[in-house]
Structure 1
Amino acid sequence: MTDQVLQQAIAQIEAARADSNQIPVVKGFFDQATYTITYVVHDPATREAAVIDSVLDYRPNSGRTSFASADAVVAYVNSENLKVTWLLETHAHADHLSAAPYLQEKLGGKLAIGQQITHVQEVFGKLFNAGTEFERDGSQFDHLFEDGHTFKLGNIEAISLHVPGHTPADMAYIIGDAVFLGDTMFMPDYGTARADFPGGDARQLYKSIRRLLELPRETRLFMCHDYKAPGRDTYAWESTVGAQHDSNVHVHDGVGEDEFVEMRTKRDATLDLPELIMPSVQVNIRGGHMPEPEDNGISYIKIPVNAV
């Protein structure tokens, strides 16, 4: 069966590479505390912009939040005279809190995530005993993307690609010739994302990665994280489809599905949970909002004991 969504994405990328007006400007902001890259992507003609995977600074020892990372994005948007129309989340992150509500207040834009966030909300709503007041329908977001949903950033064509495996809700956003692929692949010398969170699936992740690798070799890929692979002294977060084909240490050409699943499963079994998974997931399934304050006016993060 022909993957019509993938063919549409390929056609978009090829058209963008043939027309410089369809090439977006991409600016990355690296947060070393969580190894996360937030992107501001814009159409140079209209100045319309999207912010992808924003970071809210959070100190787990005190429970305090701050906005230095988000304010750097605000300063850049204002200095470049950009108009933010989208706040895009590739998935409900387990390693950092989203600053989307803060940025929406400062800059505007629609907050969006993949449609399968409802599955993630259901799973984690039960884990955190969120109660019936917590809606599990994705209504905390302004828009839920389906596989193959087309949209525009100014005059630049864009399309969403469902790439589950790390979580059920992972989306890649293809804007012009640039792909923001969330937690699927990392830089070629670091490999691929884990697949052992609730709803994760290494076999699905392999299929999602191979789908992404059907895009043209020259396609620009922008990572959500970088951890500096052994032997590399600098952080990096831009690659290409061709580079991943040739040298991704986990999923380069020639690595079969069963081989990948065996490797990923064994590797994931050695990994500890991310330090910020409990606050991050509770906040991010709510669209970046804190849990409702209790009767003393304070919001609380729950830590389930002996449950995961």
Structure 2
Amino acid sequence: MSRCDEDMPPVVYHVYAQSTGTWQYVLADHTTSHCIVLDPVRDRSSADEAGVSTSAADAIITLVKECGYLVDYILETHANRPQCLSAAWYLWMQFSYSQGWPPELCDEATVSGLQATWQRRYPAGSAFSTTIRSGLYDGGTVAFGRLFLTCMRMPG
């Protein structure tokens, strides 16, 4: 993570999703109120493994709204795992509505099938058209506010 101003470090929030045993993050530039959501998940129901809910993702929405942040990106780094329970599309819809413009989604492995369906209903130029960057790659950067996040591939 690069910083434009050494006196203003990024703010990093972490939200643990008990049902999946995973962490979700919000990285924010508090000088501009712009942020990135990293690895949002849907909850898995312990009573019924087929059931899911949005409690973990809703915690991200609450955090973003309480802090007054604008979401620039939703990044998914676990997309190719067989049991990925990404909440990227759910958050994309929620933030598109609440902030009046959609954040960019990164990593087409998570969203490609849904994107095709969604773009048939909401083509480019409509209120809910989708912007998807090409997948995350080693050395790639995304900017939010005055900060930059550099992607680094970590095997395993």
Asked whether the two chains share a fold, i.e. TM above 0.5, the reply is yes
Q: What's the CA shift string for 1:74-115, capped at 9, x where partnerless?
A: 1111111000011011232445401111100011311112x8
Q: How many residues align?
A: 130
The match for 1:48 among 3, 24, 34 is 34
Tell whether 2:18 aligns with 1:32.
yes
**For 2:84 and 2:136, how far apart are their aligned partners in 1?**
21
Larger relative contact order (CA 8 Å, sep ≥ 6): 2
**Residues 195-246 of structure 1, C-alpha deviations (whole Å, 9 max, x = no match):** xxxxxxxxxxxxxxxxxxxxxxxxxxxxxxxxxxxxxxxxxxxxxxxxxxxx
Alignment of 1:161 onto 2:148:
no
Task: Give the match for residue 132 of structure 2.
Answer: 142
| Cross-structure match for 1:98 | 86
Alpha-carbon contact 1:39-1:53 (below 8 Å) kept: yes
Bigger Rg, structure 1 or 2: 1
Q: Which letter maps to 2:132?
A: D
Judge conservation of contact 1:50–1:87 (CA < 8 Å) in 2.
yes
Q: What do you get for the CA RMSD once the two structures are aligned?
A: 2.9
Cα distance in 1 for residues equivalent to 2:4 and 2:22 = 27
1:83 maps to 70
| 8 Å CA contact retained: 1:86, 1:111 | yes
Q: CA deviation at 1:53?
A: 0.6
Q: Which amino acid aligns with 1:46?
A: T
Q: Which residue of 2 aligns with 1:253?
A: none
Task: Determine if contact 1:87/1:104 at 8 Å carries over to the other structure.
Answer: yes
Q: Distance in 1 between matches of 2:27 and 2:45?
A: 28
Give, in angstroms, the shift of residue 20 of structure 1: 2.1
Indicate the residue corresponding to 2:142 in structure 1: 151
Q: Distance in 2 between matches of 1:26 and 1:67?
A: 21
Measure the CA separation in 2 of the matches of 1:74 and 1:18. 27
Shift of 1:63: 2.3
Residues of 2 paired with 1:35 and 1:95: CA distance?
Answer: 12
Instruction: Report matched runs for 1:251-266 at 5 Å.
Output: none
In 1, are the aligned partners of 2:45 and 2:51 still within 8 Å (CA)? yes
Q: Post-superposition shift, 1:162?
A: 2.4
Structure 1 segments unaligned to the other structure (5+ residues): 1-8, 122-139, 167-308
Structure 2 unaligned regions, length at least 5: 96-101, 113-129
Q: Give the match's secondary structure for 1:147.
A: coil
Cα pair distance change 1:17/1:35, threshold 3 Å: farther
- Counterpart CA distance in 1 for 2:22 and 2:91 is 17
Give the whole-Å Cα distance in 2 for the aligned partners of 1:59 and 1:50: 27
Name the % identity.
29
Correspondences of 1:1-308 after superposition (within 5 Å): 12=2, 16=3, 19-21=6-8, 23-59=9-45, 61=48, 63-92=50-79, 93-107=81-95, 108-113=102-107, 117=109, 142-143=132-133, 144-163=135-154, 165-166=155-156
Q: TM-score, normalised by structure 1?
A: 0.38
Q: Distance in 2 between matches of 1:31 and 1:62?
A: 15
